[in-house]
Chain A
């Protein structure tokens, strides 16, 4: 597994993502202000629909998601090194940040197919607080 984020080519989520079943294609887009820790996962059909994402290892170096065989098969992930993992970030109305460690996005860098997987029997939480890192 690698914590580098793929380029800004289209990633196909064949089943959509939970809550947004109609959006199947997304791109990773940089923030215009040069922000380095976070990127946007943006729908290619609706640029106003995006989600902040980050590499979980920036904040949780020991993060160890176990991708199920079913998800590996679904992504045709043969080589584990092809898995690119990033997590949704939420900034609430109090400007507090949290990262979803239970439902990471996994992209097969080989075929650019992605899935939001839900880790099974895991202690990771959907809202894990993080503090912004001064850059």
Chain B
């Protein structure tokens, strides 16, 4: 991992068009500003991981989904 020290108001540039700026350092929290091409989504990591994990759980084959749906219907009957 590349480690860089930055002060408030300073930035790092990633590639040609991503700029991450330290906006504010207060207590144990840092506010970051991210400028990136609009084609790139920027996420808080823990939430991104949570959504990824939920997606992996939700993915399956058509037959699996049909079986689960049938089971869910049976459960509510």
Residues of A within 8 A of B (CB): 14-15, 17-20, 29, 31-33, 35, 38, 40, 42, 47-52, 70-71, 73-74, 88-92, 94-97, 100, 102-103, 115-118, 126-127, 131-132, 134
Contact = CB atoms under 8 A, between A and B. Distances in A.
B43 A51 contact: no
A15 B54 contact: no
Interface residues of chain A: helix, strand, loop or mixed (majority): loop
B25 to A, nearest CB: 21
B54 A127 contact: yes
B48 A18 contact: yes
Contacts of B68: 52, 91, 95
Interface of B: 38-44, 47-48, 50-62, 65-66, 68-69, 71-76
B57 A116 contact: no
B72 A50 contact: no
Contacts of A115: 41
B74 to A, nearest CB: 7
A90 B54 contact: yes
B69 A31 contact: yes
Nearest to B56: A19
B30 to A, nearest CB: 17
A17 B55 CA distance: 8
